[in-house]
Structure 1
Amino acid sequence: MDSGVIESGLNVTLTIRLLMHGKKGETVKKMREESGARINISEGNCPERITTLVGPTTAIFKAFSMIIEKLEEDISSSMTNSTATTKPPVTLRIVVPASQCGSLIGKGGCKIKEIRESTGAQVQVAGDMLPNSTERAITIAGTPQSIIECVKQICVVMLESPPKGVTIPYRPKLSGSPVIFAGGQLTKLHQLAMQQNPFPIATNTTGFTGIDASQNTTHEMTIPNDLIGCIIGRQGAKINEIRQTSGAQIKIANPVDGSTDRQVTITGIPASISLAKYLINARLSSEATGLATN
């Protein structure tokens, strides 16, 4: 598949997730009406929002072009009140599942180099996942036309290499709260975990011990090989801490030849699984922001 297929608007439904600043308003309404794409902007009081574009390829790229034009206008208007003499390039970030980034980068970086050279855009794939998610940000900068062509090529790669495993989407509003592992914070931590993953929980349980094992369920998730070390910790210290804190059983599968991910199986009551997942994702986000300690 090449970008000509994307251009032709065959019945391919695409989803593009953009990480942007700004709020809803007349501009978005106009974009929806003129493009025919579904445009959704995440709620929350954080400065960054996730803008999701969904629809047939032609509608998506019409909406995307309008967004780029708006960003270009914003730069031009900011230049009128500025002493800067050179106009900065249009820059935006798209959010993609980490499991698709390998295909996007290519062997030895050949694919991303090809995209850079053929479109003229600067493209950078973040090395770490966004907090509390399994998604990575891709930063694209350049002229409006080079960015549009670049995103088309990225979409082609993503259509050819679907995401593997479960994708935990990035939600900007969750990244603002620091995670503290001090003893007194456990209840708060549990509440946070339940907000993110609302499971029914028995009202008569005051702790994680002595609960009927028949309520146990199993949850599986995949974690990239290069991040598994921060979950295990030195001599298994971190994984044991997560087991004790959550009350869940956690098994990490051995590496599989040819796979870049490790399978993690979490068993326990829904509340324990929820808390274990939260602690694992918090650990991954700490690693991503350079805060993780052994």
Structure 2
Amino acid sequence: MEPTKVQSEGGLNVTLTIRLLMHGKEVGSIIGKKGETVKKMREESGARINISEGNCPERIVTITGPTDTIFKAFAMIAYKFEEDIINSMSNSPATSKPPVTLRLVVPASQCGSLIGKGGSKIKEMRESTGAQVQVAGDMLPNSTERAVTISGTPEAIIQCVKQICVVMLESPPKGATIPYRPKPASTPVIFSGGQAYTIQGQYAIPHPDQLTKLHQLAMQQTPFTPLGQTTPAFPGLDTSPPASTHELTIPNDLIGCIIGRQGTKINEIRQMSGAQIKIANAMEGSSERQITITGTPANISLAQYLINARLTSEVTGMGTL
């Protein structure tokens, strides 16, 4: 490689790390059967390709190496995605081929340089490569990184990534970067008769890993004593279990996580448990609110469990359950 070439592309053989954000399906396509595809990409490009762990709907793919190996890895990923698009089109009536789309995760402190004064740099990239480039206005949750979406033909994407790499090398990130970590997919868990179920769509499916720590904690707070199960005075007259009532007091500062925005959470709990739940208005001088749950013992147990799970997740910072 003659020296002028190195100069013109911004001192290329520097080790760089590029992070990509992908959906589970895209990650599956890159890993391939028994990891064969990613193995081939690593061998042929010479770049290190790491894929974040976890059953998240989104995963981070990190590509590290001298810039020329990164471009090879990117080319292989872009062509693989194009192949997936062509395969998915063979059984669909669509005639125009959708573009390949990749999402980079870039420290926010470098995004200004990518956009350029008054958007000049990003405009130049779009025009010179033919790729669409968009920098997200907001940072990704709990991080100081932004998503940069590139779409177009694989060739346009490769040219665009080269230009982005040059900018990133010329303007290193300022200050500490808090990397974006995708959150695990959270599916609500319900208990019934000692068995854990996850809710998927309209159905409750037995939950594989039974009681996790969090749920045990919530369970300890919810004694599963059937409430008000008394036999009716006149057997045969009342066949349904009698509705009973249970009262809870919740600190004022935690009531918000149970009610949710515009009552979304409390409505969810009502629907899932089938119990009636009334939250008393705040009493003057009291730091607690009264919650009254009415329904069958099973409904009440479930409502209590769901409320406790919300509280536990709020207090332990586990995010929303």
Whether TM-score is above 0.5 comes out as yes
For 1:158, which of 168, 174, 181 is the aligned residue? 168
For 1:19, which of 13, 21, 27 is the aligned residue? 21
- In structure 2, the CA distance between the partners of 1:7 and 1:119, relative to structure 1 (3 Å rule), is same
One-letter code aligned to 1:150: C
Structure 1 ranges of 4+ moved more than 4 A: 2-10, 174-178
For 2:56, which of 37, 41, 46 is the aligned residue? 46
Structure 2, unpaired ranges of 5+: 189-251, 258-315
Q: Hey, what's the Cα distance between the residues in 2 that align with 1:142 and 1:13?
A: 26
8 A contact 2:129–2:160 mirrored in 1:
yes
Matched pairs, number? 186
- Give 3-state SS (helix, strand or coil) of 2:104's partner: strand
Matched, 1:143 2:150: no
Identity over aligned pairs, percent:
76
Q: Hey, what's the Cα distance between the residues in 2 that align with 1:10 and 1:129?
A: 28
Determine the structure 1 residue equivalent to 2:254: 183
Q: Hey, what's the Cα distance between the residues in 2 that align with 1:11 and 1:48?
A: 30
What is the root-mean-square deviation of aligned Cα atoms in Å? Answer: 2.9
- Give 3-state SS (helix, strand or coil) of 2:183's partner: helix
Q: Hey, what's the Cα distance between the residues in 1 that align with 2:124 and 2:142?
A: 31
- In structure 2, the CA distance between the partners of 1:112 and 1:3, relative to structure 1 (3 Å rule), is farther
Q: Hey, what's the Cα distance between the residues in 2 that align with 1:46 and 1:3?
A: 41
Determine the structure 2 residue equivalent to 1:80: 90
Deviations 1:94-122 (A, max 9, x none): 00000101111111111110111111100
- In structure 2, the CA distance between the partners of 1:156 and 1:60, relative to structure 1 (3 Å rule), is same
Q: Hey, what's the Cα distance between the residues in 1 that align with 2:156 and 2:104?
A: 15
Q: Hey, what's the Cα distance between the residues in 2 that align with 1:95 and 1:3?
A: 28
8 A contact 2:101–2:150 mirrored in 1:
yes
For 2:80, which of 66, 70, 78 is the aligned residue? 70
Answer 1 or 2: which has greater helix percent: 1
Q: Hey, what's the Cα distance between the residues in 1 that align with 2:97 and 2:186?
A: 32
| Matching of residues 1-294 of structure 1 within 5 Å | 5=7, 10-21=12-23, 22-23=27-28, 24=31, 25-173=35-183, 183=254
One-letter code aligned to 1:159: L
One-letter code aligned to 1:118: S
Deviations 1:11-65 (A, max 9, x none): 3001111111223321111101111110000011012211100001111111111
- Give 3-state SS (helix, strand or coil) of 1:29's partner: helix
One-letter code aligned to 2:13: N
- In structure 2, the CA distance between the partners of 1:3 and 1:141, relative to structure 1 (3 Å rule), is farther
TM-score of the aligned structures, taking structure 1 as reference length: 0.58
8 A contact 1:106–1:112 mirrored in 2:
yes
